[in-house]
Chains A and B, each alone.
Chain A
Amino acid sequence: MKMMGSQAVMESLVQAGVKIVFGYPGGAIMPIYDALYDYQDKIKHVLVRHEQGAAHAAEGYARACGKPGVCFATSGPGATNLVTGIADAMLDSVPIVCITGQVTSALIGSDAFQEADVIGVTTPITKWNYQIIKAAEIPEVLAKAFHIATTGRPGPVVIDITKDAQFGRLDFFYPKKVTIASYNPNLFPHPKQIELAAELLNNAKRPYVLFGHGVLIAKAEKELRTLIEKGGLPAAATLHGISALPADHPLYVGFLGMHGNYGPNVLSNKADVVLAVGMRFDDRVTGRLKDYLPRAKIIHIDIDPAELNKNVKTYIPIVADAKIALQELTQKIKKNHHRPWLAEFRKCDQLEMTKVIKNESYPRAGQIKMAEVITMLSEKTKGRAIIVVDVGQHQMVAARYYKPVLADSFITSGGMGTMGFALPAGMGAKFAAPEREVIVVCGDGGFQMNIQELATIAQEQIPLKIIILNNSYLGMVRQWQELFFNKRYSSTRLQNPDFIQIAKGFYIKGEKVQDRSDLSLALSRLIKAKTPYLLEIMVEKEGNVFPMVPSGASVEEIRLE
């Protein structure tokens, strides 16, 4: 079929199963937007208010439903505005495909109007990128883009299309199957490695499972559950692993890392065998590396060979898809239990409960605490909402106190720690899962970093719920200043605008809560709302998140206060 390059872009997206695009038009991508006009019944376009919002929305969409998120941006500033979102997707292994317009090929390199070297800029932060200068390349390159973004370890792909390629004509043919000789992610574990791993687990006294985002990406939640139940293995989640196992599962021991739960951190160093699945031993998880897991033999399952032996020495590396590896490992391990070992975790939980949680989740006096809001939210939603969280104190509090029972329900920017992520990502998540309750939790700082997306939310009338936990500080930085910089609060105090008036200006309903007595009903109103709804909750100004593994300390040196 003969068609124009711009139409071929739309046709390729249809072939790839794309239902929604987040984007912002401009000069160099106008032919594609023109073609989009004829595809409105097949592909919905969400007009964001800043391209960064488009990238995060595409991420939120992909994280909530597992399908690739797509965004459009024009050349130059349009494309460079995507950069933070692309880098975020790279670090968190999120499949997004960004299509950017580029100046006409004859002008490339001439410092033309709105010309930026998008390929140069995005090379270090993409899984793959490519510049199309001929219309004929469009279907094949886009098929490749979706294949690469979604297979193996997922990641962002940027396709930069010159204006003349968009205007050019081609014979459209979209390949059903993409093969790339040099790219064949290994899905199946080596049987010998699985046997060795099973033997190690069968003989372990204090086995410990650490699971991450890879379990959710591989849709291996059931397999993880079956494995730990058969082996009686205590399991802890990384920040992105949260929701891969229901929070109320008897073998779930909590969340790992700098502000994670006490037991999962402190007992790491007692484990004799560690099975790490789909996680990458990030420095926020390991603490001081040389004192991490001193007694453990490590089995590490990851689809990316470069993650094995990167940060910790692995005893049994297994390059495989988590789902397949867990299935095969489950077959080989013996039915077992480790009750005394599990009891050690529960003992730690009790300590954490008395020292931290009780007062944080159920305070009786003083200002509202972040943890009490999240605890209440968790109870009111029965852990069944998708929580999309920004970056900072409230993020750690949400990770600690929200108890999700369904998969893909805790979405945040982990690797990059991008403030401003949550509002647009929440929007993307709501489009991916319209039947589910999606609640954005932000701080007062991060909320203002992509506040413009309130306009998109209002225009689309998606019932996204937004909570601002307002402490009038950049709370996490302030906490560090308090603990490690002698309380010198350098540039962390925020004089905020009236968020409710702002919401009103965007035609979004909102209310502000200052008193504990109003909190419960306000949260109920938020949940019940059928329209977008903003709840600003004034919380304790100088609250700190504990436990905490101080930067550069060992996980054993975790502080409860």
Chain B
Amino acid sequence: MKHLSTITVFSQNTPGVLYRIADLFLRRKINIESLTVSEIELPGQSRFTITVRADGDLVEKVVKQLYRIIEVSKVVDSLDHELIFKELSFIKVHTKDAAARHELERLAQMSGAKITYVTGRFLVIEKAGTEEEINNIYQLLKPYGIKEFVRSGRIAVFKE
């Protein structure tokens, strides 16, 4: 059964590791839904947060193969309930008049989003949250006319 897995990979921060990781998913025909990489608290170490929708057995095999990468020190495969996780999104929305702007400000506030940038023609709403929360605000804003929409990949920390 396909389900959403979050795979957290700890590795040395050297060029080429991302290539090797991506290749392993590619070979197994697993589409990466999102991928975030950054340096972490330990110097020279990176943390990859990868979400995939795939069969659990297959994910387990890929996890083991990820360990074959020399620079990889640890791989954790988690389900949502084991994690604190969020994404960040920017939504640029048309504001044809002051009323619309006012309404959008109210919607943003209601959804726990922030207005980051305002001009006479549009404003940029910043929303951090789960994929679902971001989808919700996107749907709410859609009728106003979305000029641009971008979201980051998931980042997550373990509850345990």
Contacts and interface: CB of A to CB of B under 8 A. Distances in A.
A180 to B, nearest CB: 6
A124 B70 contact: no
A180 B70 contact: yes
Contacts of A120: 19
Given A182-B12, A306-B65, A123 B70 contact: no
Contacts of B68: 127, 304, 306
Contacts of A306: 61, 64-65, 67-68
B61 A305 contact: no
Contact of B16 (A129, A181, A308): A129
Given A124-B23, A310-B61, A182 B16 contact: no
Contacts of B67: 305-306
Contacts of A43: none
Given A308-B64, A309-B61, 6 more contacts: A124-B23, A148-B70, A182-B11, A182-B70, A305-B64, A305-B67
A183 B27 CA distance: 23
Count class of interface residues, chain A: 10 to 19
Contacts of B60: 309
A309 B58 CA distance: 11
B20 A123 contact: yes
Contacts of A124: 23, 27
A123 B20 CA distance: 7
Interface of A: 119-120, 123-124, 127-130, 148, 180-183, 304-306, 308-310
Nearest to B42: A181
Name the residue among A123, A182, A310 with the largest chain B CB count within 10 angstroms.
Answer: A182
B16 to A, nearest CB: 7
Interface in B24-48: 27
9 contacts: A119-B16, A123-B20, A124-B23, A127-B70, A130-B16, A148-B70, A181-B73, A306-B67, A308-B64
B83 to A, nearest CB: 23
A130 B14 CA distance: 10
B56 to A, nearest CB: 13
Contacts of B19: 120, 123
Nearest to B19: A123
Nearest to B23: A124
B71 A123 contact: no
Contacts of A180: 70
Nearest to A153: B68
A181 B68 CA distance: 14
Nearest to A311: B61
A128 B61 contact: no
A515 to B, nearest CB: 51
B72 interface: yes
Contacts of B16: 119, 123, 129-130
Contacts of A308: 64
A237 to B, nearest CB: 25
A183 B16 CA distance: 16
Nearest to B26: A124
Given A119-B16, A129-B16, A183 B70 contact: yes
Contact of A182 (B20, B23, B27, B73): B73
Interface string B58-99: 001100110110111100000000000000000000000000
